[in-house]
Amino acid sequence: MSTASDPARRPGPAVQPLPAATAAASASGYIDWGVIVAGAVFSAALSFVLLTFGSAIGLSLGSAESGEGVSLAWISIASGIWFIWVMVSAFAAGGYCAGRLRRPVRDAAADEIETRDGAHGLIVWALGILLGAVLAAGGIFSLAGSAASGLGSATSTLAETAGDAITGNLDAIGDGLLRSGGADAATARGVDGSDIGAVLMSAVQGDGLAEQDRAWLVDTLASRTGLEPEAVEAQIDAAYAEAQQAYDAAIDAAETARVAAAIAAFVIAATLMVGAGAAWLGATTGGKHRDDNVPFRTFGR
**113 and 98 together in one domain:** yes
Give a yes or no: residue 300 inside a domain: no
Give a yes or no: residue 3 inside a domain: no
Residue 42 has what pLDDT? 94
pTM for the full predicted model: 0.62
Give a yes or no: residue 11 inside a domain: no
Residue 18 has what pLDDT? 42
Which of the 8 DSSP states describes residue 299? G
Cα 54 to Cα 60: distance, rounded to the nearest angstrom: 10
Give a yes or no: residue 186 inside a domain: yes
Residue 120 has what pLDDT? 95
**281 and 246 together in one domain:** no
Reference 249, options 185, 186, 191, 170; nearest CA is 170
Cα torsion 229, 230, 234, 237 to 10°: value is: 60
**71 and 202 together in one domain:** no
**233 and 274 together in one domain:** no
**148 and 274 together in one domain:** yes
Residue 36 has what pLDDT? 94
**170 and 274 together in one domain:** no
pLDDT per residue of the chain (301 residues) written in tens, 0 to 9 = 444 444 444 444 444 444 554 445 444 567 899 999 999 999 999 998 998 888 888 777 766 666 666 676 777 788 888 889 999 999 999 999 999 999 887 778 888 999 999 999 999 999 999 888 887 765 544 444 444 444 444 444 444 544 554 555 555 565 566 655 554 444 434 445 566 777 777 777 777 777 777 777 777 777 766 667 777 778 777 877 887 888 888 888 888 888 888 888 898 899 999 999 999 999 999 999 998 888 877 655 5
DSSP string, 264-296: HHHHHHHHHHHHHHHHHHHHHHHHHHHHTT--G
**202 and 219 together in one domain:** yes
**207 and 97 together in one domain:** no
**73 and 107 together in one domain:** yes
Domain extent at residue 58: 33-155+264-294
**208 and 150 together in one domain:** no
**39 and 60 together in one domain:** yes
Cα torsion 187, 190, 194, 197 to 10°: value is: -70
Give a yes or no: residue 20 inside a domain: no
Give a yes or no: residue 87 inside a domain: yes
Give a yes or no: residue 39 inside a domain: yes
Work out how many domains the chain is built from and give that number.
2
**143 and 205 together in one domain:** no
